[in-house]
Each structure stands twice: as structure tokens, then as C-alpha cells.
Structure 1
Amino acid sequence: MIYFDNSATTKVHPEVLNTFVTVNEKFWANPASIHTFGHQTNELLQSAREQIAAILKTSSEKVYFTSGGTESNNLAIFGLAQKYKQRGKHVLISEIEHPSIIEAAKKMNELGFEVEWIPVDSEGIILLESVKKSIRNDTVLVSVMHVNNETGAIQPIEELSNIVRKKSRALIHMDAVQSFGKIPVNFMDLDVDSITISSHKIHGLKGSGLLALKKFIEIEPILYGGGQESGIRSGTTSVPLAVSTAKAMRLSMENLGSKAVKLQSLSDDLIEFLQSFSFIKVISPTKKAPHIISFSVKKMKGEVLINALQQQDVIVSTSSACSSRQTKTSHVLKAMHISDDYIKGVLRISLSTISTQQEVDQFKIVFKHVMNVIKGD
């Protein structure tokens, strides 16, 4: 099987899985318990937190373990806006965010906040001029993802930050689920206030992620209970998941430069191949993360292509796993104003650091065969 759906989820790294099993076997105590075993387990939890803080160059007290990207994004949107609402209730959200941001932002309207959407250009890049016009003194929060999960477009976060800092006291949240471990992500240099990371996108385990804040930034909880995670995320913390997340993050940072070069080479090869078909339009922009390639076959449904490819043991997806089972058109593609001829036939190839040239070569053979069968050539 050729698995090219890594933006939906990745295969668990053997070392990460081994870490998870070992911690479950040896440190199963509740880290909040006051007995010695509980203290030992908590020390392991804090060690994982400190390792992640060192990677992100923030304080360990500002790393909060969650169930994954969706919870982390919700915590950021609701928690930051509520904590700093005295600054204002105006919120800026890009049109191409993940549903966990989009739907949370819609709920913010019901809670009395004014949500304004940042448009994008035809390549799916946010319009900075629009940000300049929309930012206000009472803007409390701006949320823009680092790498789009459907197209791979890299957003101009540093330029965005410069605009926001000059014109307001708004906080900036960055969803880095599709960028961390794929391209350099410097939390401090990008000058954002919070960052979301999901473990299963970097060969970690599902059900695990984190929200990290810059030092001195505070946040309101959205879950209440026993006061775990410094009172920000109540619920017994899964130490095995936390430790394995730290492991996955460390592994993803090893030789990141050479991994990115390899991914870029595979991506360039695939794009050159796809552009050889007159009826295919590459949706992904030039400035994109190397692991995501979005393209469309003219006047064809993506589901038809996915089914045909998986019959040949090739796994790809439509625009996003979070919306691929729904029949409605992707909000990202709509925001990019993709034409009717192409908007239904979008496929996403998403590679990982374990993808190979051999897989790419085999994909090209299978894809050409499938196109010939479907088009009757």
C-alpha cells in the first residue's frame, strides 16, 4: 500500500509507541496523587513538559497537554478571548482555518464577540492589506494557521505579527498542526502568543496534543473539574500520551533540514508529473509546505478518483479528512474562488518523512493507469 494521506494522520513511530507502552507499564499512577508513586509519575510528566518547553523556547508552566489539535484550538479561541475581553471583543479569523477554529469562532459571535474574517488570495494566502484595514484598537484576538491543511499554503505569520503589534494589543494564535515537524517553526521568532501542536500529525499517537503559550500570557479554562494542568485543563492527565508526544516532537526535530529537502524533492517530482496532464490544475501555491500537494482533475469528482486509486492500493484524500465525508464544498476552496470546473475534483497528496521515491514512482504509474481507465483512453 502507498499511503499518501499523512496530513490526516501519520503512522506511529516505533520509538514513540515503545515509549507509550513503557510508561503505561511502569508509571501508571495518577500524577496528581500524593503518594511516592504519584510523585514519580508526576516528575516524568513534568520532564516531558520541560522538554517541549525547551523545543518551543517557552516556560514549562505554559505548556498544556490536551486531547489534540481540536481541543487546543478551542481552548485558545475561547480561553484567550475571555481572559483578555477587557481589551475588546473584536476577533479576526482567516477564512481558511481548520474547522476547530472556524466553528469556535462562529460560537464566539453568540457569546457577544464580533468575529471578522480575513480573506485570502487565489493561492490561499491571507491578504495582509485586509488585516491592516480590519485591525482595531478593540481587537482582542487574531487567529491564522501556519500551514493550511488542504493546500499546504504557508501563511506570512511574521508579517501578520508586525501589523497586529503596531496597531493593537491583540493576541495572536497560530495553529501549527500542519507545520511543526515539517518546516522550521520558531515560536519566539514568529512572535505569536499561542501555538497548537497535534501528536498524530508527527508520527505520534492520536488523542494527544498541546497548547503552548508565550511566557506571561494567561488564559481562561474551558474545562472545569479537578484543576489539572495548572487549572487550565481539568481531567486526569495521560502521562503516557504526554511523554510520547514529547518523544514524537523530539524525533520530528532531528535532521529536520535534510528531511525537508527530501520532502521538497518528492513534492517537486509529483508536481512536475501532475502538470503534464492538460486537465489537471495544481491548487497548492508555490509558497507551500513540502509535504502537501493539492490538485484537481477538471470536471471530475474527487471521490471517484479516490475510490479508483484505492483499488490499486494507493491512499490519498480529498481536500481534508475532517470534511472529506461531507458532501459540502471545502470552505478553503471557496475562499480561493476555485472555478466550478475544478472545485469538485480536488485531491490532496500528503507525504511524510518516511515517504520514499519508490512510492512516488509507483504512484505515477498507478495514477496514469487510473486516468486512462476513467477517461477511456
Structure 2
Amino acid sequence: MIYFDNSATTKISPEVLATYDTVSQKIWGNPSSLHNFGEEAWNLLEQARQQVAKLFGVKASEIIFTSGGSEGDNWVIKGTAFAKRRFGKHIITTAVEHAAVRNSMAQLEELGFNVTYLPVDSEGRINPADVKAALRPDTILVSIMAVNNEIGTVQPIKEVGEILKDYPNVHYMVDAVQAIGKGLDSAIFSDRVDFATFSGHKFHAPRGTGFVYMKSGRKIAPLISGGGQERTLRSGTENTPGDVAMARAIRLVKENEQRAVQQEQAIKERIYDHLKKFDHVKIFSGRDQGFAPHILCFAIVGVRGETIVHAFEEQGIYISTTSACSSKKHAEAGTLAAMKAPENEATSAVRISLGDQNTIEEADKFNQVFDNLYAGFKKIID
């Protein structure tokens, strides 16, 4: 089996699973309990928080554990809207955000908020000048993803941050779910980014784990109210084994990051250069540094994306249509539509997403299988 769908989810690593199992069985007390067993769980949870913070060069108090990226996106967007609505109801985002951001914005629009959706160019990238032009006196939030989950475009996070230095009262959120372990930390944890969201299952941690980086001094309303956990910002009994295991997963990712980025880029280039040879293939992702090393989106124009996915599946290779969160809806990809890609190209698009466990040998096998499948498809599309 060749698994090229790591942007959908990654396999939990054995070391991380061992940590989860150990904590689950030996330190299963409630961190909010007053007795020693609860105190032991609380101390372990705080050690995990400190470890995450240290790995990213931030304060432990700036790390809030969540259940994943969708919760983090919903919380920061809605929490900012509810906390700052008396100052304004205008939000800026892009036309190519993940569904967790898009649908949160849509909900706020129903409540009377005004959202500006920034356009993108032919590579799926916004122009920072458009952010500055869209800013208004009533703007309360700018939300931009770091890496596009469909085609891998790296957005100009730093450049937007420079613009927002002149607007200190505007919250700046970065959806960094696809960016962890990809050599982009300097942009995500810059001086001007106020919030960043992360999801554990994207980097070999258990599903149902994640965290939000919240810069000191920034305030938002809680999304989940209850017993006051996570400094009253995210109530609910903490997922101690999951959060501790996630902290270990991050450490393993950071230790291996430079080698993994180089390896993923090499695999991507091997496949990219092969696909470029074919007449009916349209590649949407770039192979330069303007794109993440692990995502490659392409189409065999005239063949529907789900047909391509199942054809590779029959050969033991797992890829996806452009986003696992919407792939079963058979809808035109949101990012490609925003890029004004023709409908026949957008509906033919599929995504390869690499991980640190993939190899060049797998890329060569993919290329070999592609040749055989393309020959069969060519009879249909010629």
C-alpha cells in the first residue's frame, strides 16, 4: 500500500500511541480533581503544554488545548466576533479557506456581520495589498490560512502581518493546520500573528487533539462554557492522554522537520516532473517555495476526480479529491473555483499529499501506475 493522503489524516506513530496508552492506563485521573491522583494528571498536562510552547518558542500560557483544527477555527473566529462586536462587525478572509473557516464566516453573516472574501491569483494566492485596501474602521479580524489544503499554496502571512502592525486592534488569525512540520514556523509565530490553529491528526498525533496559539494580551469569548478548564477559555474535562501524546508527536515532528521537508519536496518534484510530460494533465500546484512541499494537485482533464481516485485505489495507492472534508460531496473544488479554473479541470482534480514516511521509491511506483492508467484514460478523452 502507498498512502498519499496525509493532508486528510496521518497514521498515529508507534511512539505516540505508546504514550497515549500509558497515560490512559496509569494516569487517568481528572486534572481538575483536588486529590493527588488528579494533581498528577494536571502536572502531566501542564508539562505537555510547556513542551509544546518550548518547541515553538512561545509561552506556555499561550497554548490552549482543543479537539482539533475545526474547533480552533470556529472558536477564534466566533470568539473574536462575540468579544469585539461592539467595536465592529467587519471580518476579512480569503476565498480559498478551509470549510471550518468558510462556514464559520457564513454563520456570522447570518448574525449581521460583514465578511470580505479576498480574491486569489492563478496560483491561489492573495495579494497583501488587497488586505490593506479591505481594512475598515470597523474591521475586527483578519483570517488567512498558512497553507492551502487543496493545492498547497503558501499564503503571504508575514507580508500581511507587516501591514497589520499599523492596525494593532485587529485580530490576526492563521489557520496553520497544513503547515506544521513544513518549515513555516517563523511566519506563523511572528510578532503580529495573534492566533494560530493546529490539528493533531495531521502530524501523527491522535484524532480529537489540537491546540490554539493565542498571543498574550489577546482576548476572545469562549466557544465552550462549563467548568472553566483551560483558563476558562475552553471548558470540558481535558483529554490528558491525547494532549500528552500530541506533545510527543510535535517533538518528533520538530526533530525530523528539516529532513522531512527535503524528502517530501524531492518526492513531489519526482512526480511533478513526470506528470508534466502528459498532454491531458493540468497541474495546479507549483514546485517552487511558494508552495508547501507535501501537496501536489493535478487533473487528468476529462476524467472525473473520483474516477481517478478509485483507479489508483485499485492499484493500492491512496490519494484523494481536493479535500477530504468535501470529497464525498462531488462538488467543484472551492480553491480551483476561486482561481477561475475551468469546470472540467476543477472536477477532474485530485490531490497527492505526502508525509515524512513516504519515499522516492513510492513516487517511482506512482509514476509507473500513472502511465498505465493514463493510457487507459486516453482512449476516453482523445
Q: TM-score range by the shorter chain?
A: over 0.9
Deviation at 1:220, TM superposition (A): 0.9
Whole-angstrom distance in 1 between the partners of 2:191 and 2:251: 20
Whole-angstrom distance in 1 between the partners of 2:362 and 2:189: 36
Please name the residue that 2:59 is paired with.
59
Is residue 352 from structure 1 mapped to residue 326 from structure 2 by the alignment? no
Whole-angstrom distance in 2 between the partners of 1:113 and 1:2: 45
Q: Structure 2 vs 1, CA of residues 36 and 329 (structure 1 numbering), >3 Å: closer, same or farther?
A: same
Q: Which amino acid aligns with 1:359?
A: E
Please name the residue that 2:299 is paired with.
296
Whole-angstrom distance in 2 between the partners of 1:264 and 1:226: 45
Whole-angstrom distance in 2 between the partners of 1:104 and 1:334: 20
Secondary structure at 2:28 match in 1: coil
Asked if 1 retains the 8 angstrom alpha-carbon contact of 2:152 and 2:291, the reply is yes
Pick the aligned partner of 1:374 from 366, 377, 382.
Answer: 377
Whole-angstrom distance in 1 between the partners of 2:191 and 2:367: 37
Pick the aligned partner of 1:324 from 318, 322, 327.
Answer: 327
Counterpart mapping for 1:145-156 below 5 A: 145-156=145-156
Listed one character per residue, the Cα deviations across residues 298-335 of structure 1 (whole Å, up to 9, x for unaligned) are 12201111111101111000000000000221211110
Is residue 258 from structure 1 mapped to residue 259 from structure 2 by the alignment? yes
For normalisation by structure 2, the TM-score amounts to 0.96
Sequence identity, in percent? 39
Runs of 4+ in 1 over 6 A off after TM superposition: none
Listed one character per residue, the Cα deviations across residues 250-278 of structure 1 (whole Å, up to 9, x for unaligned) are 11111312221111111111110110111
Please name the residue that 2:144 is paired with.
144
Please name the residue that 1:105 is paired with.
105
Deviation at 1:190, TM superposition (A): 6.0
Whole-angstrom distance in 1 between the partners of 2:29 and 2:69: 26
Whole-angstrom distance in 2 between the partners of 1:116 and 1:138: 12
Whole-angstrom distance in 1 between the partners of 2:271 and 2:30: 48
Is residue 308 from structure 1 mapped to residue 311 from structure 2 by the alignment? yes
Whole-angstrom distance in 2 between the partners of 1:277 and 1:243: 47
Is residue 269 from structure 1 mapped to residue 305 from structure 2 by the alignment? no
Whole-angstrom distance in 1 between the partners of 2:360 and 2:56: 32
Counterpart mapping for 1:70-81 below 5 A: 70-81=70-81
Asked if 1 retains the 8 angstrom alpha-carbon contact of 2:295 and 2:351, the reply is yes
Please name the residue that 2:12 is paired with.
12
Please name the residue that 1:176 is paired with.
176
Please name the residue that 1:211 is paired with.
212
Deviation at 1:109, TM superposition (A): 1.2
CA RMSD between the two structures: 1.3
Asked if 1 retains the 8 angstrom alpha-carbon contact of 2:16 and 2:245, the reply is yes
Q: Which amino acid aligns with 1:326?
A: K
Whole-angstrom distance in 2 between the partners of 1:325 and 1:175: 23
Listed one character per residue, the Cα deviations across residues 341-377 of structure 1 (whole Å, up to 9, x for unaligned) are 3111101000001101111111111111111123239
Deviation at 1:59, TM superposition (A): 2.3
Please name the residue that 1:188 is paired with.
189
Whole-angstrom distance in 2 between the partners of 1:58 and 1:139: 27
Please name the residue that 2:202 is paired with.
201
Asked if 2 retains the 8 angstrom alpha-carbon contact of 1:93 and 1:143, the reply is yes
Asked if 2 retains the 8 angstrom alpha-carbon contact of 1:92 and 1:117, the reply is yes
